């Protein structure tokens, strides 16, 4: 069965310090993986996606994620947090073929303090 | 501008009063879906559609109906809403796995 586990429901960092949001997945196939961000009272915006090309994926707003098959992980990082990064982040597995379905993690709420 | 639109954005209703949330996309995507978002649960898929007149149940379809008569539109119908359907709803359309989300509809059922 496919699943996604976001290991932290809340992460709090100071502005200017690194961000690490952790995600582990379970998939029978080589998955496509995504990170989406949701700012308060907004829809979901695609941050980045992994589709079996380079294992280090760069996204928007300075975020990047590394696909590690041996660890079944797809952690999201950013070297230096900005106040505007405060949002909820979702790690997502894409099931392709006849399903074309996304499986969402429960989300990680990132707080950034001055 | 490529976008997914939903209406209404906010809705308060009472138990049993039928309602429809509209969804429209202008990207000519074949695949569309509906999700509900509840605290601590992430997004869960309600229904999806692979193309016109082709729909199927997602993970939480009970209490919902959909239709896909045109490629661009995918309305979500609650025939007899109940309080446990109070949630934030998102419509999405997709191409190649990347989903484009609407702005969301916040529904409160009293």
Could you write out the three-class secondary structure of A63-74?
CEEEEECCCCEE
Residue B30: name the closest of B74, B94, B76 by CA.
Answer: B94
Q: Is A9 on the interface with B (CB under 8 A)?
A: yes
Q: Is the pLDDT of residue B46 over 70?
A: yes
| Inter-chain touch A32–B58, beta carbons under 8 Å | no
Tell me what percent of chain B is helix, strand and coil, each rounded to the nearest 5: 5, 55, 40
Q: Enumerate residue ranges in chain A where pLDDT < 70.
A: 1, 96-100
Which of B33, B42, B98 lies closest to A46 in CB terms? Answer: B98
Round to whole Å and give the CA distance between A48 and A33.
Answer: 9
How far B53 CA sits from the closest chain A CA (Å)?
16
How many angstroms from the chain centroid is the CA of residue A8?
A: 12
d(CA A81, CA B31) in angstroms, rounded, equals 35
pLDDT tens digits, one per residue of A29-45: 777 899 999 998 788 99
Q: Note whether A25 contacts B: Cβ–Cβ < 8 A.
A: no
Residues B3-32, mean pLDDT to the nearest whole number: 95
Q: Which residues of B touch A43 (CB under 8 A)?
A: 90, 101-104
The enclosing H or E element of A41 equals none
Contact between B97 and A90 using a beta-carbon 8 Å cutoff:
no
Average pLDDT, chain B: 94
Q: Check A96 against B97: CB less than 8 A apart.
A: yes
Share of chain B above pLDDT 70, in %: 100
Question: For the segment B56-106, what is each residue's pLDDT rounded down to a tens digit?
Answer: 999 999 999 999 999 999 999 999 999 999 999 999 998 877 889 999 999
Angle at A9 between CA A43 and CA A50, to 5 degrees: 60
What pLDDT was estimated at residue A52? 74
Percent over 90 (pLDDT), chain B:
85
Residue with tokens 């998955």: A31
Of B42, B100, B103, the CB nearest to A104: B42
CB atoms within 10 A of CB A100: 17
Distance CA A98, CA A96 (A): 6
Looking at residue B40, what is its pLDDT? 82
Number of inter-chain CB pairs under 8 A, A vs B: 48
Please report the pLDDT score of residue A40 as a whole number.
85
**Per CB distance under 8 Å, which residues of B are interface residues toward A?**
31, 33, 35, 40-45, 48, 50, 58, 90, 94, 97-104
**Interchain contact, B48 vs A101, CB within 8 Å:** yes
Question: Using the beta-carbon criterion (under 8 Å), do B42 and A51 form an inter-chain contact?
Answer: no
Yes or no: say if B31 and B94 are a contact pair by the CB < 8 Å rule.
Answer: yes
């Amino acid at each position: 069965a496919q699943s996604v586990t976001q290991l932290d429901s809340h992460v709090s960092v100071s502005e200017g310090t690194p961000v690490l949001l952790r995600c582990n997945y379970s998939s029978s196939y080589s998955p496509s993986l995504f990170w989406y961000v949701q700012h308060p009272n907004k829809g979901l915006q695609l941050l980045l996606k992994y589709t079996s090309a380079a294992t280090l994926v760069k996204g928007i707003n300075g975020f990047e994620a590394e696909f590690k098959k041996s660890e079944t992980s797809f952690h999201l990082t950013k070297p230096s947090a900005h106040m505007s990064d405060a949002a909820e982040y979702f790690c997502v597995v894409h099931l392709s073929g006849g399903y074309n379905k996304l499986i969402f993690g429960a989300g990680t709420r990132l707080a950034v303090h001055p | 501008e490529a976008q997914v639109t939903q209406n209404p954005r906010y809705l308060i209703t009472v138990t049993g009063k039928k309602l429809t949330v509209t969804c429209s996309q202008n990207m000519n995507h074949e695949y569309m879906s509906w999700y509900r978002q509840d605290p601590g649960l992430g997004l869960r898929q309600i229904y999806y559609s692979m193309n016109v007149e082709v729909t199927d149940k997602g993970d939480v379809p009970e209490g919902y109906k959909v239709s896909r008569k045109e490629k661009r539109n995918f309305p979500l119908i609650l025939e007899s809403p109940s309080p446990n359907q109070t949630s934030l709803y998102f419509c999405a359309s997709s191409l190649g796995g990347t989903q484009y989300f609407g702005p969301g509809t916040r529904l409160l059922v009293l």
